[in-house]
Structures are given as structure tokens and as C-alpha cells.
């Protein structure tokens, strides 16, 4: 188990390093950032001065090494627009994003796991078919469509829910639903498949032969096993969909989170913020994946108790 954890952590470190590198080169691809920051009509001398100030006159290798050393010492520079450390700006935005993410994950799990179980148990009846059709549709509709539809119905037409910001609990409803749409669809399908695998196992028959009532057989013996496979999928899906979904959804609802910040910094060409923002999201995804990997191993006694 210890080996497993260490190996997961090492893999995580390697991925992190690759992402740090990728972010560096990706931002260099779009030309000299100085040209975006400065307006027109700047003199050649001033431009050169600024390039030297940002260290952009040295070779790409030197820049990369300097970048690496600043990343590892926690120096991410100042925002072009706000003249504040980018880490400060991004961290302010992290908490609202996290709250929204948690709300979406809780909603997703509460809805999709029971639905998935139902779809598995009643796979041959109309209930199962209805759940799967709905799940399939949900998977096909992108989060920004759901978001816009929700706004049209509940804000403009019915005037029930607020649209902008994160002030009250009511503010959470629409963004949560918009992010969860695809997640619910995906997790319902995975739950159904995982349960179907488990339902035909020999130990389920053993549990019934013991005289256990059906709901104990399903929840204790079935779900316990299915949750091991589910865990890995749920973790990956949440990391992937939540990260991409929240960028769009936060923009729609002007949610003061990292997604909204990224979109704004990209439009305003605030590269230090964009760079650090992307890095933070990437780190969050990697950390979630690593946590899931370890949790997965921990949930399965066959891995947890393996020697080494």
C-alpha cells in the first residue's frame, strides 16, 4: 500500500512538472506578450526596455530555467492590470469556485447514484429505459446550453432565481444545475454499468441465499463493490467536467470564481494571471486524481492489504 501511495505521488509530481513546462511554452507560442500589453505608438527603445525588464531578451532556455526557479520558489509575478501578485488574485477566486464545485458534486452524487441503481435493477423494464434515455440526452447537452435555458426559464420568464453572483443560497441553484447536467448523465450511466457487473456476481446469490432482504443485498453487498469501480470514474469525471464546465458556467452567471477570472484574463491579455490560473486548475485536477487513486486503493481491501 505504501509503495502504491508513493508511486501515485511520484506520478503526480511528473505530471505537474510536464504541465508547468507546457504552460510556459504555450504562452510563448502566441508571440511576444509585450506587444499585447503595450498599445500602439510605443518607441522601439521603450519596447526593448520592457522586454529586458520582463527578461524576454534572453534565450528561451534561460527564460525557461528562470521560470522554473520562480515557480518552485512560489514567485508567479504581478498581474499586468492590477499590479498585485497573481497568487493573491487567483486564491481570492478559489473559494467561490470550490463552493460551486462541491455543490455540483454533492448534487450529482445524490441524484445519479440512486438513478443508476434503479436503472440497473429495472434494466428490462420501462423505468430503466426512461432513466437511460434521460441520461443520454443529458450527456448530449453542453453545460452552457443548460445554463442559458435555465436563465431563460427561471430568471427571465418566471423571475424566481437570481442570475448574477454568489450572494445567497438561491444563487447556487442554476450554476449547480448547469455544471451537474453532464456529470449526472455520466455518473448515472457508470453507476448502472458498475451495478450490472456486480448484480450477476456469485456473492450476490450468496447474500440472497442467506435470506437478506433485497435492499440490503443491493446496497450493502452490491453498491459496496460497485463503488470501488465508481470511485475512479467519478473522480476523473468530476475533475474533467467540473474544470471545463465551470469555466463556461462561471462566465454565464458572473460567478466570482477561477473560471470567470480565466476568461477575463484571456480577453484582457493578462498573461501572468492566465498562466497562474491555468496552472492552479491543472494542479487541482492532478491532486483530485491522485486523491482518487489512493482512495480507490484504500476502498479495495485486495489492494490495500497487498504487501509492499
Partner 1 sequence: MTLPVLDVQDLKISFGAHEAVKGISFAIHARETLALVGESGSGKSATALSILRLIEREGGTIGGGRIVLTDGGRSHDLRNLSDAQLTALRGNAISMVFQEPMTSLNPVLKIGDQVGEVFIRHRKYDRRKAMKAAEEALDQVRIPDPARRLHQYPHELSGGLRQRVMIAMALACRPKLLICDEPTTALDVTTQAEILTLIRNLQAEIGMGVLFITHDMGVVAEIADRVVVLRNGEMMEEASVHDLFERPKAAYTKALMAATPKPGSGSSTRQAGTETVLEVEHLSTRFAGKSGLFSRNSSGVLAVNRVSLKVARGETLGLVGESGCGKSTLARSILHLIEPESGSVRLDGKVLNSSSKQALRETRKDMQMVFQDPYASLNPRLPVHELITEPARIHGLVSHKDQKELAADLVERVGLERDAINRFAHQFSGGQRQRLCIARALSVEPKLIIADEAVSALDVSIARQITDLMLELQRTEGLSFLFISHDIGVVERVSHRIAVMYKGEIVETGPTDRILKSPEHPYTRRLLSAVPSPVPKRRSAPPQLSTSLQVEVPSLAALA
CB of 250 to partner 1, least distance (A): 38
215 belongs to the binding site for partner 1 (CB under 8 A): no
Interacting residue with partner 1 among 117, 179, 228, 249 (CB under 8 A): 228
Q: Is 10 in the site for partner 1 (CB under 8 A)?
A: yes
Residue 205 sits in the site that holds partner 1 (CB under 8 A): yes
Region binding partner 1 by CB under 8 A among candidate stretches 52-60, 159-167, 216-224, 267-275: 216-224
Task: Please choose, out of 3-11, 17-25, 89-97, 259-267, the segment that lies near partner 1 by the rule CB under 8 A.
Answer: 3-11
- Grid cell at residue 222: 452490491
In this structure, are residues 166 and 99 in contact, taking their beta carbons and an 8 Å threshold? Answer: yes
Q: How many CB atoms are closer than 10 A to CB 78?
A: 15
Q: Which residue has the cell 474544470?
A: 243
Helices (H), the chain: 2-29, 33-37, 44-53, 60-72, 86-121, 126-140, 143-150, 169-199, 202-209, 214-216, 224-237, 243-252, 258-268, 271-299, 301-304
Is residue 210 close enough to count as binding partner 1 by CB under 8 A? yes
Candidates 92-100, 213-221, 256-264, 281-289: pick the segment binding partner 1 (CB under 8 A). 213-221
Burial class (CB in 10 A: 0-12, 13-18, 19+), 259: buried
Q: Does 212 bind partner 1 (CB under 8 A)?
A: yes
Q: Min. distance of Cβ 306 from partner 1 in angstroms? A: 8
- The conformational region for residue 213 under phi > 0 = left, psi -120 to 50 = alpha, else beta, is beta
Among positions 221, 239, 252, 275, the unique one binding partner 1 when judged by CB under 8 A? 221
* 299 counts as binding partner 1 under rule CB under 8 A: yes
Kindly indicate which of the ranges 26-34, 43-51, 196-204, 263-271 contains the residues binding partner 1, using the contact rule CB under 8 A: 196-204
Of 165 and 301, the one with the shorter C-beta distance to partner 1 is 301
Contact track, partner 1, 68-87, x by CB under 8 A: --------------------
CA distance to 96, 171, 187, 219, 256, per residue, from 114 (Å): 28, 26, 10, 10, 32
SS3 12: helix
Separation CA 298–CA 304 (nearest Å): 5
Q: Smallest gap, in angstroms, from Cβ of residue 220 to partner 1?
A: 8
Which residue in 281, 287, 300 sits closest to 230, CA to CA? 300
Q: How far apart are CA 17 and CA 71, in angstroms?
A: 10
Cβ closer to partner 1: 59 or 124? Answer: 124
Least distance to partner 1, CB of residue 200, Å: 10
- Least distance between partner 1 and beta carbon 111 (Å): 24
302 Cα distance to chain centroid: 29
> Which one of the spans 4-12, 24-32, 126-134, 249-257 is the region binding partner 1 (CB under 8 A)?
4-12
Q: Choose one: 29-37, 55-63, 205-213, 255-263; the region binding partner 1 (CB under 8 A).
A: 205-213
Residue whose cell numbers read 503526480 = 12
> Which residues, in sequence order, are CB contacts of 171 under 8 Å at separation 6+?
161, 162, 165, 253
Report if residue 98 touches partner 1, rule: CB under 8 A: no
Among 39, 41, 167, 213, binds partner 1 (CB under 8 A): 213
Question: Where along the sequence are the contacts to partner 1 (CB under 8 A)?
Answer: 2-3, 6-7, 10, 201-203, 205-214, 220-221, 224-225, 228, 299-302, 305, 307-308
Amino acid at each position: 500500500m505504501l509503495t502504491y501511495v508513493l508511486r501515485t505521488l511520484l506520478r503526480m509530481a511528473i505530471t505537474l512538472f510536464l504541465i508547468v513546462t507546457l504552460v510556459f511554452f504555450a504562452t510563448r507560442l502566441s508571440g511576444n506578450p509585450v506587444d499585447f500589453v503595450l498599445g500602439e505608438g510605443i518607441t522601439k527603445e521603450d519596447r526593448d526596455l520592457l522586454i529586458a525588464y520582463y527578461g524576454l531578451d534572453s534565450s528561451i532556455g534561460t527564460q525557461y530555467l528562470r521560470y522554473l526557479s520562480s515557480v518552485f520558489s512560489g514567485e508567479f509575478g504581478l498581474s499586468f492590470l492590477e499590479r498585485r501578485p497573481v497568487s493573491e488574485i487567483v486564491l481570492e477566486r478559489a473559494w467561490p469556485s470550490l463552493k460551486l464545485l462541491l455543490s455540483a458534486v454533492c448534487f450529482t452524487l445524490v441524484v445519479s447514484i440512486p438513478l443508476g441503481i434503479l436503472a440497473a435493477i429495472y434494466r428490462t423494464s420501462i423505468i430503466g429505459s426512461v432513466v437511460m434515455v434521460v441520461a443520454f440526452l443529458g450527456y448530449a447537452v453542453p453545460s452552457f446550453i443548460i445554463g442559458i435555458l435555465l436563465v431563460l426559464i427561471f430568471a427571465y420568464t418566471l423571475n424566481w432565481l437570481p442570475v448574477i453572483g454568489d450572494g445567497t443560497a438561491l444563487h447556487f441553484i442554476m450554476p449547480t444545475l448547469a455544471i451537474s447536467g453532464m456529470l449526472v448523465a455520466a455518473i448515472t450511466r457508470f453507476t448502472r454499468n458498475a451495478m450490472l457487473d456486480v448484480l450477476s456476481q456469485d456473492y450476490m446469490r450468496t447474500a440472497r441465499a442467506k435470506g437478506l432482504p433485497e435492499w440490503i443485498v443491493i446496497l450493502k453487498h452490491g453498491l459496496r463493490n460497485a463503488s470501488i469501480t465508481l470511485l475512479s470514474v467519478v473522480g476523473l469525471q468530476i475533475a474533467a467536467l467540473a474544470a471545463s464546465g465551470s469555466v463556461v458556467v462561471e462566465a454565464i452567471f458572473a460567478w466570482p470564481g477561477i473560471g470567470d477570472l480565466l476568461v477575463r484574463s484571456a480577453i484582457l491579455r493578462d498573461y501572468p494571471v492566465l498562466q497562474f490560473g491555468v496552472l492552479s486548475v491543472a494542479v487541482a485536477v492532478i491532486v483530485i486524481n491522485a486523491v482518487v487513486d489512493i482512495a480507490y486503493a484504500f476502498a479495495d481491501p485486495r489492494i490495500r492489504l497487498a504487501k509492499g
